[in-house]
Structures are given as C-alpha cells and as structure tokens.
Amino acid sequence: MTAALLVLAIAGAIGVVVLSLRLARARREVQRHQRALESTLDRVEHIERAFQRFAPLEVVEQFAQGGAAHEPAYRQVTIMFADLKGFTPMSEQIEPQLMVDMLNGYFRAMNRALTEHHGHLSRLMGDGLMALFGAFDHNPWQAADAVRAALAMRAALAEYNRELAERRLPLLSFGVGINVGRAVAGVMGSDHLTEFTVIGDAVNLAARVEGLTRQHGVDILITEPVRAALDQRFVVRAMPATMVKGKTEPIVTFAVDSFEERSSAPADARA
C-alpha cells in the first residue's frame, strides 16, 4: 500500500515536473512570438512614419492595412514649384560628389522653411522641387502659408549662400512660382512606382509661373488667385501680363517683395 502510494507520488511529481517544463517552454515560445510581433509592429510604425512624408496619414494607414486604393478627389491646393537657376551648366564644372552635397544642403534648407509654414515637399525633380499646401490637411490659410514659406526659403537660401561663399563654392539662386486652385489629389503611378500627388491645370500653371521668374527677373512670383488670398502685410508688385503655354489669355503675376508683420499700409496700396 505504502509502496503504491510512493509510486503514485513519484509519478505525480514527475508529471508536475514534466508539465512545468512544458509550460515553461510554451511560455518561452509565446514570449518569442510576442517579441517578434512587437519588432514587426515597430518596423511597420517606422515605415508608416517614413511614408507620412509622402502621403496623408489616412492614405498611408489605408495602404498599411491592405485596404482598397485611396479614392482620388478634388481638393483646393496651393502648389509651389522652385527651381535653381543656372545649376545645370554650373553642375558640369563641379565634381559629382560636391554637386550632390550642395544640392542636399539646399534641399535640407528649403524643406525646413516649407515644414515651418505647413508645407509638404512633394517631389524632387533634379534641382527643382514641388511643394504642396493644403493637400494633406484642411488648411484655410494655404496660400498665405505658401508665400511665407517662399519668403523663408529666400532667407534660407541667402544663409546657405553665405556658407557656400565661405567654402569658395558657386552661389545659388532660385525661381519660385505659386498658384492656388482645384486639383485632383490621389495615389498615382504604376505597380513599380507610385506616389501621392496632385494633377490638373492649377499644377501646370504653377510650373509655368515658376518659369516666368527668369523672364521677369524676380525670384518669387504668384498668380492673381494667390494674391487675392493675401492681406496687406504682404508687399507685392504687379508684373506685365504674359502669355504662357496652355493658356489662351495672358497671365497676370505678382512679384513678392516682403512680409511686414504689423503693416499699416492700406489694402489698395498693394500692387
């Protein structure tokens, strides 16, 4: 009887030990899966945050969750094009690495100015860039934001040129064109290359206006709808109406001189 009890007790103890070992192994397995899951989630979050620079949050999350393609829609957007003047011939005389360094420094400075004024750097095209205001978020002040961003970019470029001068490198100058209007915003491209962007006549006109900066000999040029959205603190000058490709009527543009914080100038003193 005692021997049987002893055997039972030993068997029970062995059972408990085996169960404990299995439990411990299962727990380790669960912890391993949990760590793997957490690490994957961390990576997904990092990727989502990186993509947030290229598309609105809801679009990124929709993609991350494997949802249907983002529905394109008309949005009121302010579009800015900026291009370095004379950079292509200049770049032929500079070492490739130096040229890339110069461009990277320039884009960093421009991006800071854009972000500071609620803009999103949407696309880089060689030495040019396209920035959007109001495409990612509802922004009732998008036109004024874009013009203030352009002025901040002008100041940032002057600062960057001082740095280039110290390094005995050629100085940079740019032209900026800004337009506001309705554009189709959405995810576009092929299976191989996709981007969130805006298309439409308003976008094309912004690019044409940037091109006019050379013709008018100014650095920041805005269209009439942009000027109409500004208040009297913005000091602008009317430029001669000019024909541009794709338009049947000449385009009226305004050069932007400055922004004066508490201007007492009457509104009709503009332009």
Partner 1 sequence: MAVLLGELEWLEKPLVGETTDPEWEKEVIASYGMMPAVLRRVASVPWARRAYFDLSRAGTKALSTGQSELAGFVTAQENACRYCYGIARTRMRMLGFTEEMVDRIENNARLAEADPEERELVKFCRNLARSKPRPSRAAREALESVGYSQLQTVELAWVTASASFCNRVSTLLAVPPELEMERSAPKQNLWSSLKAWLPGAAAPKPPPLGYPPPTATGMLGELVAVLQDSPGAAVLEATVKAAFEKTTLRRRTVCLMFAVVSHTLGSSFCAKASAEMLAAEGFSRSDLDEVLSTLASRSLDDVESRLLPWARDTVWLPEQPKRIQERTRPLQSLGDQALIEAVTVAALANSCVRLAMLLE
Q: Which residues would be at the binding site for partner 1 (CB under 8 A)?
A: 37-38, 41-42, 45, 48-49, 52, 56-58, 60-61, 136-138, 140-141, 144, 229-231, 233, 262, 264
SS3 81: strand
Helix residue ranges per DSSP H, the chain: 2-51, 57-64, 87-91, 96-116, 142-166, 201-216, 224-228
Phi, psi for residue 5 in degrees, rounded to 5: -60, -40
| Bridge partners of residue 79, in order along the sequence | 132, 179
Query: Cβ closer to partner 1: 78 or 213?
Result: 78
Alpha-carbon gap, residue 1 to 130, rounded angstroms: 90
Q: Which is nearer to partner 1, 75 or 208 (CB)?
A: 75
- Of the two residues 138 and 168, which places its CB atom closer to partner 1 in the complex? 138
Of the pair 152, 251, the CB lying nearest partner 1 is at: 152
Minimum Å gap between C-beta 34 and partner 1 is: 8
Question: Alpha helices of 180-263 — where are they, by DSSP H?
Answer: 201-216, 224-228
Query: Closest CB to partner 1 among 45 and 159?
Result: 45
